[in-house]
Every structure is written in C-alpha cells, then in structure tokens.
Amino acid sequence: MSSADLTSERDLPPEREASAKGDVAPERDGPRDTGMDDASLHRWLTRTWRTPPGIIGALSSVDHKVIARRYLITAFLFLCLGGLNAVVMRIQLSGPRRGLIGPDLYNQLFTMHGVTMMFLFAVPIVQATGIYLVPLMVGTRNIAFPRLNAFSYWVYVSGGLFAWVSFALSMAPDVGWFAYVPLSGPEYGPGKRADVWAQMITYTEVSSLAVAVATIVTIFKQRAPGMSLDKIPLYVWSLLVTSFVVVFAMPAVMITSTFLILDRLVGTHIFNPAEGGDALLFQHLFWFFGHPEVYIIFLPATGMVSAIIPAFARRPVFGHLGLVLSLIAVGFLSFGLWVHHMFATGLPKLGASFFTASSMMIAIPNGVQIFCWLATLWDGRPVIRTPLLFVFGFFFIFVIGGLTGVMLASVPLDLQVHDTYFVVAHFHYVLIGGAVFPLLGAAYFWFPKITGRMMSERLGRWHFWLALIGFNAAFFPMHIVGLWGMPRRVYTYPAELGWGNINLFITAGAVLFFLSFVLFAFNLIHGALKGAPAGDNPWDAGTLEWATSSPPPSYNFARIPVVTNVEPLWAEPQALPVATGLRADVRELLISTVAEAHPDIREKSATPSIWPLLAAIAVGGTFLYSIFTPWAIVWGAAPIAVTLIGWFWPKGDPEDEE
Amino acid sequence: MNQRPALDLSALPTFGHGPRSPTWWGTLGFMALEGTGFALAAGAYLYLATLWPNWRLSAPQPNHWPGTIVTLLLIVSLVPNHILNGYAKQCAMRPVRIGMVVMSLLGLAPLIVRWFEFPALNIYWDTNAYGSMLWVLLGLHTTHLITDVGDTIVLMVLMFTHHGYSGRRFGDVGDNVFYWDFVVLTWIPIYLLIYWLPRLG
C-alpha cells in the first residue's frame, strides 16, 4: 500500500447543520465524548450500552455480540447433534445387514442430519459469525435493527427445538432434507412428519431473512466514516453478497414449504398432477432456493479465508477488486444453477445444456479467488498457525469437491451416479471443505477476540491433522463405493455386493472425524477457561475488529474510527484517527452514506427489550399450532399483533424520542 | 490502541428521511424479499398455466368487479399517500395527523371490498390447482394488505400522542408511505393474473 492510496480526512465533507424545523421536540442534549477523558468516557458508555442484569435483562439483550455468542453456541450444539446422527448412521452401515436400527428410524436420521446441518447449523453459524464481526469490522456500535436481530435468534431456537422435540417423539420428518412430493405430499406422507419439515423450514427462514436484512443495512449505512466501498474488508463484502443471496433465495423455500403445508392441511392441489398441479414444480421451487443455499454457506467461508490469509501472509490480499467482483459474480451465478439438481427428471435437453454451461461457468470466479489467495501467500511471508492450516485444508478438500462438481455438471455422468454415494462424497467435499474447514480456521482466528484468550496451538495442530485425515478417510472412499453403485439413503445392503469392507473403513474415518470435533470442543472450553491472555490484536491483523479490546466492550469502540485504508490498523500503526462529537449518555451511533461512507446522521440505537422474545414466542406458537389446524393463523394473529405493538411502542427512552 | 481525534460529528442531525435513514433501507430489504415471494408465486401460477392446455381447468370465469374496485381504490389512495409523504418530510404535525386518518380509512376500504373478492373467484381452493393458485395469490396479497393497514392504524394512534413529536416518528410515516406504494404496486400484476389471464384461455 502506498501513501497515495490513503484518503486524507480532509476529503470528508463538512458536517451539515442540524435541521430542527417542523413539529419536532428539540433535542435534549447530553454529555458528548468530545474532550472527555478515557476513564469517564468508558464509565458513561458502559452505563449507556450495558445489557441489564438479571434473567429478564439477559432475555432482553440487544447487544449484537451477546446475540451472536448465543447463536454460535446454539449452532455448535446442533452441529454436535447432527454429527451424532451421522455417527449412528455410519455404525449401522459399517457392515452388511447390521440390525442396529431399522428403516423407519434411519429415514428420520438422515433427514434430521440434513435438515440440522443445513438449516440449524450451517446457515445460522455463518450468519452468527457475521452478526458478531460485521459491526466490529465496519466500526459501529451495534447491528442495525438490534431488536429484530434478537427476535431472529429466538425464532431460530424455537425452530430447532421444534424439530428435535419432534425427533424425540418419533415424529421427525423422514422424507429427506428436500422433502420431495409426492413422498411428502398428503397421499404418501401420513402423520405430521412432513408438516414438521415444512414449518421448521418456515421458522429458520424467517430468522435468516431478518438477519440478512439487518446485515445489509449495517453494511450500507453504519460504516465508519471514510470506509468507502473500496475500503470494505473482504469478509464484510462476502456477508453483504451472502445476505443479498438470502433475500432473493430464501423466499423460494418459504413458498415451497407453505405450498406443501397448504396441500397437506387444507387440500389445495398445487403439487397434485391429478388436479392440475405438478410435482416437478416443487423441485423447481426448492432448488431455486437450494442451490443458492450452497453459496449462502460457502461465500462467508471465502470471506473468512480472505481475512485469515492476509493476516498470516503479512501483506494485504492480492487482487482485492478481483476478489470482490468474484464474490458478486458467484452471487449472481448461484441463481442460474438450480436445474443441475434435476438432471434425472427428464427435462428438455436444451435446458439441461444451459444449466451444464452455467454450472461450469461458476468455476471461473471461484478459480479467480483461489488464484488470488495463492498469489497473496506466494508474495507474502506466511506464518503457519492453526487458522492458516485450516485454510490449506480448505484448498485441498474444496478443490477436489469442485472438480467432482464439474464432472457432475455433465448430464450423462450425472445420470449414472445420481442418488449414489458419489454425490454424497461430492457435496460433503464441497460443504465441509468449502465451509466447515474455513469456519474452524475462523474459530481459531477470532476466538481470542470473542473471549480475550488464545486457544492452544498444539491442540489446534492435532485437531487439524485429525480432521483432515478423518474427513478424507470417511468421504474419499464414498466416491468409489458410489461408482460401484451404492445408492444413498439405504439403511443396509446385502453382503453379496461386496461393499462391507469399504464401508467399515468409511465408518472408521467418520469416527476419527467425529473425534476431531471432540478435541475441538475441548480446546474451545480449555481456551475459554485457561487460555493465555490474547491482548487486543494477537495476530497483528489490519482490520477494525482488532482495534478494540478482547473481548470488546458493550459499546465496541469508545470513539468511532475514521478509515483511511482497507487495512486501517496497518495504515495507521501509531494512532488510529477517530471521530468525536457523539453523545455518551444515550445509545448514539453514526449513520453514513452508502457509497462513500460520509458521516450523515447521529442516530439512536434501540435499547434492550423483552418484546422480541415475546413476539418470537407468539410467532413460534402460531407456527407450531398451524401444523394441526389452519385456524392457528387466525388465532395466532392477535398475540403476534399485541407483541409487535409492544415492541414498537415508544417507552419514553431518549432513544425512542429523537 | 492509541487514538487521535480527526473528525467532529457533533453538528450532525439526529434523523433523516428516505434513503438517508436505515429504516428506509430495511423497508426496501423486506420489499425485496416479499417481492421475490410474490414473483415466485406468480411464476408458479404461470408454470402451471402453461403446463395444462385447457388452463382454468373447466372452471367458470372469476367475476372481476370486486377486484377492479379494489384496484381503483388502491390507485386512488396513492394520491393522498404521497401528499402525506410531503408533510412528513416537513414534520408538519396537523396535516400528518389528517393524512394518517385518511390513509387508515383508504386502507380499510379495499380490505372490506377484498372480503367479496374471494367468493367472486367462483372456485374453491380445493377444487383444482387453478383454484388453489387463485386463492394463494389473493391470500398472499391480503396478508400484506392486513399487516400494512394494521401498521398504519397503530402509527396513526401514535401520531396523536406526545410520542409523535419526534423526527423518527415522521420518518416512520414516510416509510409507511413507501410500504403502501409497494402493497399497491404488487397488486397490479396479481390482479391481472387472477382476473384477466383466465379470460385469455
């Protein structure tokens, strides 16, 4: 970076005059941070921004870091549950004709495994990481719409509980994570199992959509002064693109699940070919969401990689603009691929060719990203620590997954291996390699910021090698057994097929992979309790989250940073330029302009409130009741309306009035 | 780390209207995702309509009159809606209060006529897929209509209390105007799909 890249603070526009015209009560001014000494400022801000004590206080919290921590822990617990599902399935498959579990339980297990990993682990954990990091990285004090953010967490938890309590009652969905009709329809899916799938989807999508909107607005309007579009960190860009993909993809699955529950509950015929409906419509709608879903999980992971690599390569990332454009290109292209999940349904050949082409095309921007990262490492002086090891693991595994993806994009091969373990191997390489390995790297990278303590480097290396070996031992042989013809979603197989030994090997690998997570959990707990103190910036990284203490105070930054470079801490190593003039006695933060991040408004951020929890209970109760009767929507409307009015009605705080 | 003051924010205003305000962007975000929902539901309807050669599946034509009246009411409501927006920008309490009362009434009126639209479809949701899609489209829009009218009424009451004298509340009025535009705009294609597409076949 050269000094010519730096925007001088003089380029920022002069402040506008406060407009006090019209029937608006004059602002009751309070103490400002200008000229206040650090100790008094800390006292004021702590009092203003704290989460109230007590159980009600904790349930009312709107601090993005508190909500994100809850999200992260909850999502990790769901990962453990989904992982246990997998271990049980692997033990059942470890030899031919094992009688550990029967077909009915097996159907519930693989459905719960998929649903849990996709909707209760992967999407929530990438969004939660964003909830924690985005406000810190853009230099603001809280996420936009903090109460909506709190609401989204409670809705997510109730959706997860709903699914797992159903599982405990042997009422869990058993129709696969994508729940195709007619299997999940009224004719072939008796009982409540498919309804549980449909409503559980609705819960989690409401929650993801709310977080996506809050994330977009935080990135658009709450960036620190000077953080113009070209100075936004790549991780934040990745969350921005992801959130847009969520906004345009998730409604599709809500429409799908709503149509399904209407068919099942009130007798509509949307998916019923006998009465003018169509079963393939379900697949189109589902995969219009389902394919972008892969990128909703993958794009934030690439953002994590783009944050970890410069910190350890000791230089700014190579090809910043190229990486941003790749992220955007992948976001767009992700909407043009959905039909490649449906090649076996007999669609017109021309249409299939189009989707083959677009499936191969998306490898281009992904390839650009990989080459930019390699160039950064090549030109830097890499320091090999655990986060970077997981990035290397990501390269290795994701590239293999990408290559089998290009293979599967061709229709003839896809038809041969459709619904075999080859596909299972492919998408685990893509999802675990593309998202879980970067996430594990990110955990080691940002854990010091969240807890103020370091995780053990020694255990981290053990964890990495155990995970890498366990993963490949478990999933690589699946390619082979898939090519031999072993179908997915079978609860057992006869000995004569000769799949016994390789499956035993796969199970051993899966157990090893599971043990790597046990080690990870131990390292997390050990680090949180006994890890070495981390300090503000243990990796000497360049983005704003490292400018504040670890863990950050409730108000994030005592004074809002002024950004002059894409790696602000490297550009200003002596003293960080900051803005002054905000009030210390109310929750004030800075609203800036979308493109240039010019300071525009001193806005008040919402205070803690119990109403988002009450609203989530009303919404959750309505969804739950609605699997039994459509009248739930009518009866549920009243409590939902009451809680929403309670949420929005001003309580007389200064934050509400100005 | 060490800090040095470089910028003074103390003279900035405490609220802004339209795209200056985060709430406006939040509203836009929700419009985008709800609009996607509308587009996909309409797409599903068109997908089924092109799949079956005798679309409408021998059902009688819907009676378009209640729907046409709703359409006219919604279009007319745009005029006071935008006058209200102008007063909200000026933070002028009296005309904003009047405007909110007018908009609440102009929200309730199409909602009442909407009640008569469902029987005018001349088919039930469980007769066949054509009937199902008609009810789904109309139901989807009705949900939006109800929630926005509810929101407008609550905000109207709020503007008659002392809480109304705040830049933020006038900003909320502006965002409510913005969302009503969305409710009206999304209705037009749905109106055409429900009442006029079946007349083509």
Domains of chain A by residue range: 58-545, 610-648
Task: Tell me, yes or no, if A262 comes closer than 8 A to chain B by beta carbon.
Answer: yes
Distance from CA of B29 to the nearest CA of A (A): 6
Quick check: A14 pLDDT over 80?
no
Quick check: A563 pLDDT over 90?
yes
Report the 10 Å Cβ neighbour count for A34. 16
Strand partners, A589: A603
| b/e per residue A431-441 (b: at least 16 CB within 10 A) | bbbbbbbbbbb
Region A489-505 average pLDDT: 96
Interface test with B, best of A141, A243, A270 (most B CBs within 10 A): A270
Using CA atoms of A296, A302, A303, A308 in order, give the dihedral in degrees to the nearest 10.
150
- Which residues have CB under 8 Å from A361's CB, separation 6+? A333
Search chain A and give the residue with CA nearest B135: A268
- Cβ under 8 Å to B: A residues 455-474: none
Task: Specify the pLDDT at position A6.
Answer: 37
Quick check: B167 pLDDT over 80?
yes
Q: Selecting from 3.40.228.10, 1.10.375.10, 1.20.210.10, 3.40.50.10190, what CATH number does the domain A58-545 have?
A: 1.20.210.10
Token digits of residue A97: 């004709």
Omega cis (within 30) before A568: no
Token digits of residue A248: 């345009």
Task: Specify the pLDDT at position A562.
Answer: 96
Token digits of residue A536: 């503000």
- Which chain B residues are within 8 Å of A250, Cβ to Cβ? 33
Look-up of token digits 């109304």:
B164
Quick check: A655 pLDDT over 90?
no
**Among A217, A19, A24, which residue's Cα sits nearest to residue A657?**
A24
Region A401-427 average pLDDT: 92
Region B52-68 average pLDDT: 91
Region A65-88 average pLDDT: 97
Which alpha helices (H) appear in B52-166, and where do they start and end? Answer: 65-90, 93-120, 129-159
Q: What is the DSSP letter of A32?
A: B
Task: Specify the pLDDT at position A652.
Answer: 79
Task: Tell me, yes or no, if A589 comes closer than 8 A to chain B by beta carbon.
Answer: no
Helices (H) and strands (E) in chain A, counts: 22, 3
Strands A576-580 and B3-8, bridge-based pairing: parallel
Least confident of A29-43, A471-485, B58-72, B81-95: A29-43
As a residue count, chain B comes to 201
Helix (H, G, I), strand (E, B) or coil at A156: helix
The average confidence (pLDDT) of chain A is 93
pLDDT band at residue A178, thresholds of 50, 70 and 90?
A: very high
Task: Specify the pLDDT at position B201.
Answer: 58
Distance from CA of A400 to the nearest CA of B (A): 34
Task: Specify the pLDDT at position A293.
Answer: 94
Q: Is the dihedral of CA A291, A294, A300, A303 positive or negative?
A: negative
CATH 3.60.20.10 for domain B21-52+63-197: no
Look-up of token digits 């509810």:
B150
Quick check: A658 pLDDT over 70?
no
Subunit contact A276:B48, Cβ cutoff 8 A: yes
**Among B140, B1, B123, which residue's Cα sits nearest to residue B55?**
B123
Q: What is the percent of chain A where pLDDT is above 90? A: 86
Task: Specify the pLDDT at position A168.
Answer: 96
Token digits of residue A638: 């009243």
Search chain B and give the residue with CA nearest A18: B13
Quick check: B144 pLDDT over 90?
yes
Distance from CA of A654 to the nearest CA of B (A): 10
Task: State pLDDT tens for residues A340-387.
Answer: 888 888 888 888 888 888 888 888 999 999 999 999 999 999 999 999
- Which chain A residues are within 8 Å of B100, Cβ to Cβ? none
Q: What whole-number distance in Å separates Cα of residue A46 and Cα of residue A64?
A: 15
Subunit contact A21:B40, Cβ cutoff 8 A: no
DSSP string covering A277-318, please?
--HHHHHHHHHHHHHHHHHHHHHHHHHHHHHHHHHHHTSPPT
Subunit contact B135:A214, Cβ cutoff 8 A: no
Search chain B and give the residue with CA nearest A561: B3
Distance from CA of A34 to the nearest CA of B (A): 8
- Cβ under 8 Å to B: A residues 487-526: none
Subunit contact A581:B12, Cβ cutoff 8 A: yes
Interface test with A, best of B2, B3, B31, B127 (most A CBs within 10 A): B3
